[in-house]
Amino acid sequence: MTSLLQPDSAATSRGPLCERFHALDAVRAGALLLGVVFHASVAYLPGPPIWFVEDTPSDAMGVTFFVSHMFRMVVFFLMAGFFARMSLHRLGLARFLRDRAKRILLPLIIAWPIVFPSIIAIFIWSAIVAHGELPPGDPPPMTAETFPLTHLWFLYDLVLFYVAALLLRGAVVTIDRGEGLRHGVLDRSVGFLVARHLAPIALAIAPCIAFALTPDWRMWFGVPTPDTGLVPNLAAISVHFSAFGFGWILQRQPALLRHWEARWAAYLAAAIALTVFCLFQTGIAPIVTPAPYDTATLLYAGAYSLAIWCWTFGLVGLALRFLSAPSRTIRYIADASYWVYLVHLPIVMALQVLAIQRDWPWPVEVALVLAITFTIAFVSYHLFVRNSAIGAILNGRRRGGGPARQGVPAAAE
């Protein structure tokens, strides 16, 4: 079996903190690229309209949306926390802060003024196509509560998570100078939970409580997407920051990942069973009204929260089992996935407006939307980004057109 901790040869002399986890590159890329599929599916959901265009309803797209929304961002933030701690110890605090500012904060500052007007233009176009005129009324005022982060919200949250993690780390280091608390309590507790496969239950507690305490929780959608407003959403933060924090703590003992590798099939079987239970409770069509506060909702919240982490552990374990060997293709896709995710949403939305004007079967439309989006995104990455200043910002400086510098792609660090 390929070693889980197999490093690139250039990293062997620098210790485990600089090893490259090839399987986790694949996981991070998969989570980002699945976001393209997720947004392509929204136009085809059965039930009440929740997107700016409504095409042919499809139960298959409803399941795709529901399942992918369960785990994709949790997987992403787990990887983000894992590689953040690795980068901090590799770079030191000052360089880490500069690196995060360049590769996370700067893309957010640059991309948002381009992405948001593009989305607004597509909204206007879709209204003209559908009704022959501009949408009525004035746009809502932009405040801290209504600020439209769009799909770039993950960069905003990453910045918040880096700050929170560094502040917490500073407090812990100050209190635990001899590291007895970290080695004697934290590492042993995490090791116990992971080795005995109790970690999904422990990690499900916080989101379950947050869901139950959210007065307007829309249970079908699970984790609320914090794409609007600069004030953190309690339910979303409880899930995403716990994933980030657990990834950070897990990086202290990367060998624990072997337990997920060994039990990936069991985790995925549990995830599928829990997901089927949740869909049986709610149905495939979205429910846009708030959930009642009753026993059934609490049971659903518990099952949904546990399913999040079973999917996450199972998929990470699956990647570790089959994708741990170095692969130039996976490395390339991992490098490109950050750019693909940044630029994909306006492309998908524009193609959905074109698709709604065609009377084609939904599988054909979805396939074309995905094929064209991925083609535009990957070709633009290869021609204009990979060896450019933009590529250096997103994925680190490249030497002589060869592989990016040793380390892990930016969005996962």
Domain boundaries, the chain: 25-412
Positive or negative, the CA dihedral 201, 205, 207, 209 is positive
On whether the CB atoms of residues 6 and 324 are closer than 8 A, the answer is yes
Per-residue confidence (pLDDT) for residue 397, from 0 to 100: 62
Per-residue confidence (pLDDT) for residue 141, from 0 to 100: 84
| pLDDT over threshold 70, residue 399 | no
Q: DSSP character for 294?
A: S
Per-residue confidence (pLDDT) for residue 20, from 0 to 100: 65
| pLDDT over threshold 50, residue 242 | yes
Q: Indicate the burial class of 254 (C-beta count within 10 angstroms; 0-12, 13-18, 19 or more).
A: middle
Mean pLDDT computed over every residue of the chain: 90
CA distances to 18, 77, 89, 169 from 83, in Å:
10, 10, 10, 15
Q: In the structure encoding, which two tokens stand for residue 178, read together?
A: 């001899």
How far, in Å, CA of 242 to CA of 248, rounded? 10
Classified as helix, coil or strand, 364 is helix
CA dihedral of 141, 147, 150, 152, whole degrees rounded to 10 = 150
| pLDDT over threshold 50, residue 3 | no
On whether the CB atoms of residues 240 and 276 are closer than 8 A, the answer is no
Residue 228 β-bridge partners: 148
* Backbone angles phi and psi of 55, in degrees to 5: -105, -165
Determine the Cα angle at 328 with ends 322 and 334, to 5°: 80
| pLDDT over threshold 50, residue 23 | yes
Per-residue confidence (pLDDT) for residue 137, from 0 to 100: 72
On whether the CB atoms of residues 337 and 33 are closer than 8 A, the answer is yes
Rounded to an integer, the average pLDDT of 73-92 is 96
Q: What is the pLDDT of residues 341-361, one digit of tens each?
A: 999 999 999 999 999 999 899
Q: Which residues lie closer than 8 Å to 283 by C-beta, 6 or more apart?
A: 220
Q: What is the pLDDT of residues 291-326, one digit of tens each?
A: 998 999 999 999 999 999 999 999 999 999 999 999
On whether the CB atoms of residues 310 and 2 are closer than 8 A, the answer is no
How far, in Å, CA of 167 to CA of 240, rounded? 17
CA dihedral of 321, 325, 328, 332, whole degrees rounded to 10 = 40
Label residue 93 by pLDDT band (50, 70, 90).
very high
Determine the Cα angle at 277 with ends 66 and 299, to 5°: 100
Label residue 395 by pLDDT band (50, 70, 90).
confident
